[in-house]
Chain A
């Protein structure tokens, strides 16, 4: 069960990256730069 922390880290990091990168690109589109 202790190993589940590693799975959690990977899922949280991956989803955070995808959301963050999408937000970053949308923001750049909005700003036009």
Chain B
């Protein structure tokens, strides 16, 4: 039996369309936002750097949740979605690190320094690179899914450490732009708007990418099964 090609569904189209629209609006507000007292217009990097960081964390947390669901229920779809989410998270983390490095050079004088936040981010990236090495190394699908799930869950444990690193070990990296624990921010609304618009846009992109990748992976799995 020939498996139907997945195609672009209505929900993914809507998520992508709205994502691009919000990205444009976010760009407009980023240009309109006032310069920072100390950093001038360099602060514009923040609107993308923080959005990539947050959605990267989100992607890794979702990968962990799907990994746990796989271990509990054993449905291959959970494993496919966990891998898809981890991959998107890894790309977003690379983007966050590049953005951070471009911000660090003019403000700290170096692209990289082994301080707690950057080090914990490096550990986070190493865990998810390891996740894909594990997936590559194990041939048996069930063993592969179980081992990968263990790494994805381990990865989630590291995320609060990465997030809190700027508070637990004060160093060069600034603290959170929006302190979600104490519900405080030191940013004026003109700066919060481009940040939130970009954050929303990135979340929509993440959801669209996850949905498309999940459907593609399901299609490939179904085809392999029908081909024997």
Residues on A close to B: CB < 8 A?
3-4, 6-7, 9-11, 13-15, 17-18, 21-22, 25-26, 28-30, 32-33
Contacts and interface: CB of A to CB of B under 8 A. Distances in A.
Contacts of A10: 45, 48-49, 98-99, 102-103
Residues of B contacting A: mostly: helix
13 contacts: A7-B102, A11-B27, A13-B95, A14-B48, A21-B91, A22-B208, A22-B209, A25-B213, A28-B216, A29-B5, A29-B212, A32-B6, A33-B220
B20 to A, nearest CB: 8
Contact of A7 (B44, B208, B209): B44
Contact of B5 (A6, A18, A32): A32
Contacts of B16: 22
Contacts of A18: 19, 23, 205
B168 interface: no
